[in-house]
Structure 1
Amino acid sequence: MSALDTGLFGQQGGFAVRIMDLSGGNGADPVETIRGFQTLEHANAFARRYVRDSLERCRSRGMAPDAVIAAWFAFGEDAEVLGGAEHAWRSAAELTDFAARPPADPEDRNWRALDPRRDQDDEEEED
Structure 2
Amino acid sequence: MSENIFAPEGGWRVRIIDLSGGAEDNIVEEVGGFPDLIQANAFARAYVRDSIERCRMAGLSAADILKAWFAFGEDAEVLEAGEQGWRSANELDDFAAHAATPMERDWRAFDPRRGDDEEEA
TM-score (norm 2): 0.92
Alignment partners' CA distance in 2, 1:88 and 1:112: 19
Query: How far 1:9 moved relative to its partner?
Result: 4.5
| Number of equivalent positions | 121
Query: Contact 1:55–1:99 at 8 Å: present in 2 too?
Result: yes
Report deviation, 1:120: 1.8
Q: Deviations over 1:61-109 (max 9, x none)?
A: 1210110000000000001111211110010000000001112x21000
Give the match for residue 114 of structure 2: 118
Are 1:70 and 2:73 an aligned pair? no
* Corresponding residue number in structure 2 for 1:50: 47
Provide structure 1 residue ranges, at least 5 long, that are not aligned to the other structure. none
Rg bigger for which structure?
A: 1
Structure 1 partner of 2:82: 85
Q: C-alpha deviations, 1:12-54, integer Å up to 9, x for none?
A: 3210001011000114241100000011110000000000000
Q: How big is the alpha-carbon RMSD for the aligned residues of Structure 1 and Structure 2?
A: 1.4
Distance 2:34 2:116 in 1: 12
- Runs (4+) of structure 1 moved beyond 6 Å? none
**Fraction of identical pairs, as percent:** 57
The 8 Å contact of residues 12 and 34 in structure 2, kept in 1 or not, is answered as yes
The structure 1 residue matched to 2:17, chosen from 17, 20, 35, is 20
